[in-house]
Amino acid sequence: MTEGKRVVLGVTGGIAAYKAAELTRVLVKKGVFVKVIMTGHAKEFISPLTFQVLSGNPVFSDMFSQEYYDMNHISLAEYGDVMVVAPATANIIGKMATGIADDLLSTVLLATKAPIVACPAMNDNMYTHGVVQENIAKLKKHGVQFVAPGYGELACKLEGVGRLADIADIVEAIEAAWTEKDLRGEHILVTAGPTREPFDPVRFITNYSSGKMGYALATMAARRGAEVILISGPSSLPVPRGVTFISVASALEMRDALMTHLEGTTAIIKAAAVADYRPAVLSESKIKKKGPLTLQLERNPDIIAEIGAKKENRVLVGFAMESEDLVENARAKLIAKNMDLIVANDLHQSGAGFQCDTNIIKILDPQGGVEEIPLMDKMDIANRILDRVKILTNAKRS
């Protein structure tokens, strides 16, 4: 997915050039091969040696150097799965927008067929200037993707829009840029995380769900071009880029959010660990300790069963975490709740379940099929689930 991919990183002359070093480090750590092109101005801010050491490759800058000619004139334009410009100054954006190729970076940018991700960073008066905004709009029309700068303190000590976007957001944009958009046209609703069922103003019952599986599904579906709505219970994970995010707490809130957004969806993936019960009474004041306390619980609605009863042409995928009789229990849920697929995982298997970054799953279908997916990263698991969803949505359409 990411390991073994190739990036050409163009670094231009802005104070944020030092952040491109961190971007290089993060990409290399993910197994990406990085080749760096620096403009002359970039070298005023940071030494090429930094990028050479971090990327493990020579740094290119001079169009007419022997070294560059020796490796074939346009090979950098063909090297990358994605070309990134970070930071992108107003100057390079202007050159890109007008087709100027007067140094190595601008020439390679014009010659490449790879997707281009540009990450502007500059003074906010420059960034909001009509000419820069027109250039950005023009480049977007030509397929250049922009990772918008953030708001905050700028190098000129003023506050404004112009800080280089977070490295995590840039990396996500790069990973999205090389991903095939095979889910374009799908409208996928994902639920994730635990629900929180309060019984007084400061206390609640919940479960250990981290949200990682649901967030991985939302991230990958968005990368693959789907319109994604992520309805999440409380989770500490960052909101995935490019999804519509709806934050909820209780099962009742999750059900309301889901029913509101059901219209127009082509697939619903219910990765949330919904609490089956909630306290029957919600005390308005904090419950004081006395003797033993008994909490009366009442059933929450079974959200997926409600959707299953009126799912129409949508693909419905549920999850089952079981501590015994995994396949039998999961199959019973699949049938009872009218799902198209159920993703089953075993609570006792190490490397599977709530808090880890990996999972081990079985995907069951109503025809009796069981696809066994061994231990892998939740992002890869998400892709395998989405591959199955894609087959089903296509089949339902035809």
Nearer to ligand CTP, 219 or 300 (CB): 300
Q: Which stretch binds ligand CTP (CB under 6 A): 78-86, 106-114, 224-232, 313-321?
A: 313-321
HEC readout, 195-206: CCEEEECCEEEC
Tell whether residue 270 is a contact of ligand CTP (CB under 6 A): yes
Nearer to ligand CTP, 200 or 302 (CB): 302
User: In a 3-state reduction of DSSP, which class is residue 61?
Assistant: coil
> For residues 19 and 170, is the Cβ–Cβ distance under 8 A?
no
Q: Which stretch binds ligand CTP (CB under 6 A): 6-14, 201-209, 217-225, 267-275?
A: 267-275
Q: Which stretch binds ligand CTP (CB under 6 A): 59-67, 115-123, 126-134, 301-309?
A: 301-309
> For residues 4 and 33, is the Cβ–Cβ distance under 8 A?
yes
- Max Cα-Cα span within the chain: 84
> For residues 304 and 267, is the Cβ–Cβ distance under 8 A?
no
Tell whether residue 303 is a contact of ligand CTP (CB under 6 A): yes
Tell whether residue 81 is a contact of ligand CTP (CB under 6 A): no
Nearer to ligand CTP, 131 or 332 (CB): 332
Nearer to ligand CTP, 24 or 210 (CB): 210
Tell whether residue 223 is a contact of ligand CTP (CB under 6 A): no
If you write DSSP's letter for every residue of 89-143 in order, what string do you get?
-HHHHHHHHHT---SHHHHHHHH--S-EEEEE---HHHHHSHHHHHHHHHHHHTT
As measured in angstroms, the least distance from the Cβ of 317 to ligand CTP is 8
Tell whether residue 302 is a contact of ligand CTP (CB under 6 A): yes
Tell whether residue 320 is a contact of ligand CTP (CB under 6 A): yes
Instruction: Identify the CA nearest to 240 among candidates 257, 227, 255.
Output: 227
* Amino acid making up residue 29: K
As measured in angstroms, the least distance from the Cβ of 189 to ligand CTP is 12
- Tokens describing residue 262: 């059901």
- End-to-end Cα, the chain, rounded Å: 29
User: In this structure, how many other beta carbons lie within 10 angstroms of the beta carbon of residue 131?
Assistant: 12
Q: How many residues are given for the chain?
A: 398
Tell whether residue 278 is a contact of ligand CTP (CB under 6 A): no
Kindly identify the residues of this chain, within the stretch 162-201, that bind ligand CTP according to CB under 6 A: none
Q: Which of 256, 276, 365, 377 binds ligand CTP (CB under 6 A)?
A: 276
User: Which helix (H) or strand (E) segment is 110 a member of?
Assistant: helix 104-111
DSSP 265: -
Q: Catalytic positions, please?
A: 156
Nearer to ligand CTP, 34 or 307 (CB): 307
Kindly identify the residues of this chain, within the stretch 227-256, that bind ligand CTP according to CB under 6 A: 251
Q: Which of 331, 333, 362, 378 binds ligand CTP (CB under 6 A)?
A: 333
**Cα–Cα distance between 81 and 77 in angstroms, integer?**
10
Q: Which of 33, 51, 60, 319 binds ligand CTP (CB under 6 A)?
A: 319
**Cα–Cα distance between 35 and 57 in angstroms, integer?**
6
**Cα–Cα distance between 257 and 253 in angstroms, integer?**
6
User: In this structure, how many other beta carbons lie within 10 angstroms of the beta carbon of residue 35?
Assistant: 22
Nearer to ligand CTP, 144 or 231 (CB): 231
Q: Which stretch binds ligand CTP (CB under 6 A): 32-40, 153-161, 268-276, 286-294?
A: 268-276
Q: Which stretch binds ligand CTP (CB under 6 A): 59-67, 69-77, 239-247, 269-277?
A: 269-277
Helix axes 378-397, 212-223, angle to 10 degrees: 60
Tell whether residue 321 is a contact of ligand CTP (CB under 6 A): yes
As measured in angstroms, the least distance from the Cβ of 234 to ligand CTP is 15
> For residues 119 and 87, is the Cβ–Cβ distance under 8 A?
yes
Give how many residues touch ligand CTP by CB under 6 A. Answer: 14
**Cα–Cα distance between 113 and 81 in angstroms, integer?**
9
By CB under 6 A, name the binding residues for ligand CTP: 251, 270, 272, 274, 276, 300, 302-304, 318-321, 333
